[in-house]
Chains A and B, each alone.
Chain A
Amino acid sequence: VLELHTVTPKANYSQTDVTEFARALTGWTIDKQYLRKTKNNGKAYFNKTWHEPGMRTILGKTYFPLGQGLAPIIIRDLCHHPATALNVATKLARHFCNDTPPSTLVTRLTKDFIKTGGNLTSLYIILIDSPEPWQAHSQKVKTPYELLTSTARMMGDDSVFSVRHHDVYEGFGQAPFKAPTPEGWPDDGGSWIGSDAILKRVEWANNIAFRHAANTDARDFLHHALGPRLTPSTLKIVEGAESRQQALALALMCPEFQRR
Chain B
Amino acid sequence: MLNISRRSALGLLGAVSLGQIATPVFAQGQENRKFIFILLRGGMDGLSALIPDSTDITSARDKILPSIDTRLNLGNGFRLHPSFKGLKTLYDNGHVSFIHACSTSYRARSHFEAQDAIEILGNGGSRKGWLNRALTALNSEGLAIARGVPLAMQGPQKVKNWSPPLFNAASDDLLDRLTTLYAQDVELMTSLAIARKTTAFDMPRDRRSARRFTYEYPIPLEAIGQQMAIEGGPGVGMVALDGWDTHSNQVNKLNRKFFELDKGLTTLKQKLGHHWKQTCIVVCSEFGRTVSMNGTRGTDHGTGGLVMVLGGAVAGGKMKGEWPGLKPSALYEGRDLAPVNDVTSVLKGILRDHLGIDRRTLDQSIFPNSARAFDGLIRS
Report which of B151, B177, B183 forms a contact with A250, defined as CB distance below 8 A.
B177
Contact between B165 and A200, CB atoms less than 8 A apart: yes
Contacts of A194 in B (CB 8 A): 149, 160-161, 191
Contacts of A242 in B (CB 8 A): 173
Chain A nearest CB from B142 CB (Å) reads: 13
B180, CB-defined interface residue at 8 Å: yes
Q: Interface with B: A75-83, A101-109, A251-259, which one?
A: A251-259
Contacts of A141 in B (CB 8 A): 187-188
Q: Interface with A: B11-19, B193-201, B262-270, B336-344, which one?
A: B193-201
Interface size range on A against B:
35 or more
Contact between B127 and A255, CB atoms less than 8 A apart: no
Given A171-B166, A234-B181, verify A199-B199 contact (CB < 8 Å). yes
Contact between A250 and B178, CB atoms less than 8 A apart: yes
Chain B nearest CB from A167 CB (Å) reads: 6
B170, CB-defined interface residue at 8 Å: yes
Contact between B187 and A206, CB atoms less than 8 A apart: no
A173, CB-defined interface residue at 8 Å: yes
A233, CB-defined interface residue at 8 Å: yes
CA distance A181 to B113 in the complex (A): 11
Chain A nearest CB from B204 CB (Å) reads: 13
Contacts of A234 in B (CB 8 A): 181
CA distance A183 to B181 in the complex (A): 34
Contacts of A174 in B (CB 8 A): 148
Contacts of A180 in B (CB 8 A): 151, 154
Contacts of A200 in B (CB 8 A): 147, 163, 165-166
Contact between B148 and A255, CB atoms less than 8 A apart: no
Contact between B161 and A193, CB atoms less than 8 A apart: no
Contacts of A199 in B (CB 8 A): 165, 170, 192, 195, 199
Contacts of B3 in A (CB 8 A): none
Chain B nearest CB from A148 CB (Å) reads: 13
Chain B nearest CB from A5 CB (Å) reads: 13
CA distance A168 to B173 in the complex (A): 23
Kindly supply a per-residue 1/0 record for chain B positions 140-183, scoring 1 wherever the CB is within 8 Å of any chain A CB and 0 otherwise.
Answer: 00000001110100100000111101111110011101101111
Contacts of A168 in B (CB 8 A): 166
CA distance A257 to B170 in the complex (A): 19
Contact between B147 and A196, CB atoms less than 8 A apart: yes
Contact between A173 and B177, CB atoms less than 8 A apart: no
Chain A nearest CB from B114 CB (Å) reads: 15
CA distance A198 to B166 in the complex (A): 12
Contact between A182 and B178, CB atoms less than 8 A apart: no
Contacts of B184 in A (CB 8 A): 231, 233, 255
Kindly supply a per-residue 1/0 record for chain A positions 190-215, scoring 1 wherever the CB is within 8 Å of any chain B CB and 0 otherwise.
Answer: 10011111111011101100000000
B185, CB-defined interface residue at 8 Å: yes
CA distance A196 to B188 in the complex (A): 12
A170, CB-defined interface residue at 8 Å: yes
A251's nearest neighbour on chain B, judged by CB, is: B181
A240's nearest neighbour on chain B, judged by CB, is: B177
Given A171-B147, A180-B151, A233-B184, verify A198-B191 contact (CB < 8 Å). yes
Report which of A167, A206, A246, A253 forms a contact with B168, defined as CB distance below 8 A.
A206
Contact between B147 and A206, CB atoms less than 8 A apart: no
> Which residues of chain A from 129 to 185 have any CB-CB distance to chain B below 8 Å in the complex?
141, 163, 167-168, 170-171, 173-175, 180-183
Contacts of B161 in A (CB 8 A): 194-196
Contacts of A126 in B (CB 8 A): none
Contact between A249 and B170, CB atoms less than 8 A apart: yes
CA distance A197 to B216 in the complex (A): 22
Contacts of A193 in B (CB 8 A): 187-188, 191
A237, CB-defined interface residue at 8 Å: yes
Chain A nearest CB from B111 CB (Å) reads: 12
Contacts of A198 in B (CB 8 A): 188, 191-192, 195
CA distance A197 to B192 in the complex (A): 9
A241, CB-defined interface residue at 8 Å: yes
> Which residues of chain B from 195 to 216 have any CB-CB distance to chain A below 8 Å in the complex?
195, 198-199
Report which of B127, B170, B182 forms a contact with A206, defined as CB distance below 8 A.
B170
Contact between B166 and A163, CB atoms less than 8 A apart: yes
Contact between B147 and A173, CB atoms less than 8 A apart: yes
CA distance A62 to B342 in the complex (A): 41
Given A195-B198, A242-B173, A250-B174, verify A237-B180 contact (CB < 8 Å). yes
Contacts of A250 in B (CB 8 A): 174, 177-178, 181
Contact between A246 and B174, CB atoms less than 8 A apart: yes
Contacts of A170 in B (CB 8 A): 147-148
CA distance A196 to B194 in the complex (A): 9
CA distance A175 to B242 in the complex (A): 15
Report which of B127, B181, B183, B195 forms a contact with A253, defined as CB distance below 8 A.
B181
Contact between B151 and A196, CB atoms less than 8 A apart: no
B190's nearest neighbour on chain A, judged by CB, is: A195
Contact between B166 and A181, CB atoms less than 8 A apart: no
Contacts of B147 in A (CB 8 A): 170-171, 173, 175, 196, 200
18 A–B contacts, CB within 8 A, in A order: A168-B166, A170-B147, A170-B148, A171-B166, A175-B148, A189-B187, A193-B188, A194-B160, A195-B162, A195-B195, A196-B148, A200-B165, A204-B166, A233-B183, A234-B181, A237-B181, A255-B182, A255-B184
Query: Which residues does A use to contact B, with CB under 8 Å?
Result: 141, 163, 167-168, 170-171, 173-175, 180-183, 189-190, 193-200, 202-204, 206-207, 231, 233-234, 237, 241-242, 246, 249-250, 253-255, 258
User: Lowest 8 A-B CB distances belong to which pairs?
Assistant: A195-B195, A207-B167, A173-B148, A195-B194, A255-B185, A171-B166, A199-B195, A203-B167
